[in-house]
Amino acid sequence: MTKADIVEDIAQKTGLTKKEVGETVDLFLEQVSDLLSQGRHLEIRGFGTFKVKERKERMARNPRTGDAVPVPSRRVPIFKVSKMLKDKVAHHS
Amino acid sequence: MTKAELVELIAQRTGVSKKDTGIVVNLILENIGGALTRSDKVELRGFGSFKVKSRRPRQARNPRTGDAVAVPPKRVPYFKASNELKSRLNGGTGDE
């Protein structure tokens, strides 16, 4: 499923134009990205939580040469699936 | 931030009413949840993808009693962030 499929489905269900729905979907994704890049969290009941975790600096190795390479600390986006959604996915077969 | 605050922010920028924006946002989440429930994946370019992984059945132990317990196979939803999103979180523009 892609964004286009989602937009199509929502336009059909709501009667809003695909343009309106498309803009809203794009802004939704953009806002979530913005929040995360500001280090903020977004909690959506019944769906899950988007958050940011800090990964510490560490030493890794170049697998080709075996040289030690420092990996700088960085932030990674995490999505923690809500229990409700996890249960729905696990029990549906 | 909560969903209500997010809806408000989006509505301000699109000119679509808060009510309709709320409905659209709920439908986005329902579409993603529904796809995952069907074990379908959702790919959102520039953002990431939602997928379902299968976990094989395995033998585990009750840590209190030490008894062997059969863990049935299960399906676990997860989110894989796009390289763009990962880059944005670290000061990149997300364009590379």
Return d(Cα A32, Cα A43) in angstroms, integer: 11
Name the pLDDT band for B94 (thresholds 50, 70, 90): low
**Interchain contact, B85 vs A79, CB within 8 Å:** no
Name the pLDDT band for B95 (thresholds 50, 70, 90): low
Q: Would you list the domain boundaries of chain A? A: 1-38, 39-85
Q: Does domain A39-85 have CATH number 3.40.630.10?
A: no
Q: How far is A62 from chain B (nearest CA, A)?
A: 21
Question: Which run of H or of E encompasses A81?
Answer: strand A74-81
- The three-class DSSP label of residue A20 is helix
Q: What is the pLDDT of residues B60-84, one digit of tens each?
A: 999 999 899 998 888 999 999 999 9
Q: Which long-range CB contacts under 8 A does B50-55 form with residues at least 24 apart?
A: B50/A79, B50/B77, B50/B78, B50/B79, B50/B80, B51/B77, B51/B78, B51/B80, B52/A89, B52/B76, B52/B77, B52/B78, B53/B77, B53/B78
Reported ipTM: the value is: 0.87
Both structure tokens of A40: 């903020």
Q: How far is B58 from chain A (nearest CA, A)?
A: 15
DSSP state of B94: S
Q: Which residue of chain B comes nearest to A85, CA vs CA?
A: B33
pTM above 0.80, yes or no: yes
Return d(Cα B55, Cα B36) in angstroms, integer: 15
Q: How many helices (H) and strands (E) are present in chain B, helices listed first?
A: 3, 5
A53 - beta bridge partners?
A: A76
- The three-class DSSP label of residue A13 is helix
